[in-house]
Structure 1
Amino acid sequence: MRFEQLDLNLLVALDILLEEQNITRSAERLHLSQSATSGILSRLRAFFEDDLLVQIGKKMQPTPFALELQGPVAGVLATVRGSIIGRKANNPEQSERHFKIIASDYIVQVLLRHVVAELAISAPKVTFEFLSPFAHEVSMLAKGGADIMMAPEAVMLEAYPSTHLVSDELVCIADINNQLVNDELSFEQFNSLGHVSVGFARASHLSIEQWLIQTMETNRRVEVITNDFSTMIYTLLNTNRIGILPKHFAEMHVQSQAVKIIKLPFETPKLKESMMWHPTLENDPMHRWLRQRILDSAAKFQ
């Protein structure tokens, strides 16, 4: 279909090309050959009279005009999916909807694994793709690159609909054979031992650092920064390092007898995770259905 001389089918391809910035990956998502995808890019360049994506070394980088287009194009497609197509496809048992969810390995392992197991039976054609919040910014929602984001409440945007998901305690862990700590840490031990921390997003903002500095007036000696909680655990094994992470996640890994939970010398704030989505998806029936399934599972988590 054409609108003002633009083949609207090309907008879907443009959205993917700008997100992936790679012909091979874009071709895979479009289910086309690389040559066909390159042909689509050529047609887009001709219509917009702009290179859109420029090959620099081994990477393709968007032009300034392409960056201007990215938000509006993603917004249009999100509106179509949420307000038009979404209202038609409201049958979970037959739906082939593909949901992209930004969530940490903590949320996936303690919560979403139960959701996908249940939906494998009740909605067998629905598929999922989990994206790490440590590598993807909130802007992914605005660009239409994700359907839902699950992250600490502090990350939620006022202009986007959101809801509380789960609360959890923060605990300290160490290698099961760490001889420098027993069941409880002293404040001096907390400050002297090396720490492993999780860094949020590309800027590697440390998860609890600000609270420790402002409230406890202490800087821990962070020796390793990882991009997920699972890796965090592995990087303190066979060392004297310690780390702070959500209690439910820690308890899962204590069962493997590789780590132990140690009492901190102070009370920490609770970790409060929320779920957020783009406003255009607020009334999408399938999206609303999935949100409710997630909330039902989260209610059992408490």
Structure 2
Amino acid sequence: MRFNKLDLNLLVALDALLTERSISRAAEKIHLSQSAMSNALSRLREYFGDELLVQIGRKMEPTPRAEGLADAVRDVLVRVEATISTQPEFSPETSTRLFRLLVSDYTLATLMPPFLASVYERAPGIRIDLRPQVADPRRALERADADLLIIPKDYCSPEHPAEFLFEEDFCCVIWAESSLATGDLTRERYLEAGHVVVVPGQGQPAIEDWIIQRLGVSRNVGVTTFNFAAPAQLVVGTDRIATMHRRLAVQAARLEAIVLREVPLPMPPMQQSMQWHTHRTTDLGLAWLRAVLRETSLTL
């Protein structure tokens, strides 16, 4: 099929090339021979009047023209895929569909266990691929690398639908034998203490750190970690303090010699949400999965 003299099959090749930045890997991704992919790149270069990908050392890098095309091409392909792959019916009892969810380790420890149990009870053949959140989760959604994002409302993209799931508040975690465990945890003691802080590696601070920054205060950071559950272990044996999601802190208190205290700052709760691509709103399978997530969140 051609549009404006462009073979639309070449858009699939272009998307693979811009994603993989390698002729061999792009060919493997869309099941073409390497020579066929090289031919596709030549035709694309001729059509757009641009090199699109240039060899720099051992890597192929996109030209400015190619970078400008990347998101538009992916959006077209996502629209087409969403249209033709949406089934008129969805039967969870017999489905073997694979759903890909981007989640944090906080979500893995709190929402996912009851959610997976509920999915298995209703649809034992459905498969769930839980993937770590990346630097730009919105891009993963737009590139169809994920069906759903489970993220705080403050991090949701305004360009796609999102739905609130549940609230989570914060508390302080302190080693039971720490000097901070005796007496009131005042604002002054909290700010003077050394802190264990989560830096999840998503190109932005963890939600609790972001909230504290908005309050106009700074903490004395002694330790940083990438794992939301780890601070409860990392404060043990020290006079440090950690500000954690309360559900994770309660879980940790069953195993660690820690005590929980209220945060002496006015911290609003986190609103955990789910988000999906706007082109997938009518996807019956995804709508069913969202309903299960919605029901599960009510039990937390």
What is the TM-score when the length of structure 2 is the normalising length? Answer: 0.81
**In structure 1, distance between residues paired with 2:153 and 2:284:** 25
Q: Which runs of 5+ in 1 are unaligned?
A: none
Q: Is the 8 A contact 1:93 1:125 kept in 2?
A: yes
Deviates most, 43-52 or 287-296:
43-52
Q: Is the 8 A contact 2:165 2:274 kept in 1?
A: yes
* Counterpart residue number, 2:42: 46
* Counterpart residue number, 2:285: 286
Q: Cα gap change, 1:17/1:46 in structure 2, threshold over 3 Å: closer, same or farther?
A: closer
* Counterpart residue number, 1:87: 87
Q: Is the 8 A contact 1:53 1:60 kept in 2?
A: yes
1:251-272 Cα distance to aligned partner (Å, 9 max, x none): 1222222543223324421111
**In structure 1, distance between residues paired with 2:15 and 2:260:** 45
What displacement does 1:20 show? 4.9
1:6 pairs with 2:27: no
* Counterpart residue number, 2:219: 220
> Which amino acid in the other structure matches residue 287 of structure 2?
R
Deviates most, 100-109 or 82-91:
82-91
1:240-286 Cα distance to aligned partner (Å, 9 max, x none): 32221211121122222254322332442111111111110011111
**In structure 1, distance between residues paired with 2:59 and 2:221:** 33
Aligned runs of 1:97-108 on 2, under 5 Å?
97-108=97-108
Instruction: State the structure with more CA Rg.
Output: 2
Aligned runs of 1:1-302 on 2, under 5 Å?
6=7, 8=9, 11-12=11-12, 14-21=14-21, 30=29, 38-39=34-35, 41-49=37-45, 52-54=52-54, 56=56, 60-88=60-88, 90-133=90-133, 135-182=135-182, 184-199=184-199, 202-215=202-215, 217-301=216-300
Deviates most, 15-24 or 291-300:
15-24
Q: Cα gap change, 1:165/1:125 in structure 2, threshold over 3 Å: closer, same or farther?
A: same
What displacement does 1:91 show? 2.8
**In structure 2, distance between residues paired with 1:273 and 1:208:** 13
**In structure 1, distance between residues paired with 2:235 and 2:56:** 39
Specify the SS of the correspondent of 2:197.
strand
1:9-36 Cα distance to aligned partner (Å, 9 max, x none): x6556545544556787688x496xxx6
What displacement does 1:171 show? 0.8
Specify the SS of the correspondent of 2:159.
coil
**In structure 2, distance between residues paired with 1:193 and 1:277:** 40
Q: Cα gap change, 1:211/1:177 in structure 2, threshold over 3 Å: closer, same or farther?
A: same
Specify the SS of the correspondent of 2:43.
helix
Deviates most, 281-290 or 250-259:
250-259
What displacement does 1:223 show? 2.9
Specify the SS of the correspondent of 2:87.
helix
Q: Which runs of 5+ in 2 are unaligned?
A: none
> Which amino acid in the other structure matches residue 102 of structure 1?
L
Specify the SS of the correspondent of 1:157.
coil
Q: Is the 8 A contact 1:134 1:227 kept in 2?
A: no
Pairwise CA RMSD: 3.3
What is the TM-score when the length of structure 1 is the normalising length? Answer: 0.80
What displacement does 1:58 show? 6.0
Q: Cα gap change, 1:286/1:233 in structure 2, threshold over 3 Å: closer, same or farther?
A: same
Q: Is the 8 A contact 1:27 1:37 kept in 2?
A: yes
Q: Cα gap change, 1:220/1:78 in structure 2, threshold over 3 Å: closer, same or farther?
A: same
Deviates most, 153-162 or 233-242:
233-242
> Which amino acid in the other structure matches residue 170 of structure 1?
F
**In structure 2, distance between residues paired with 1:82 and 1:133:** 23
Aligned length: 295
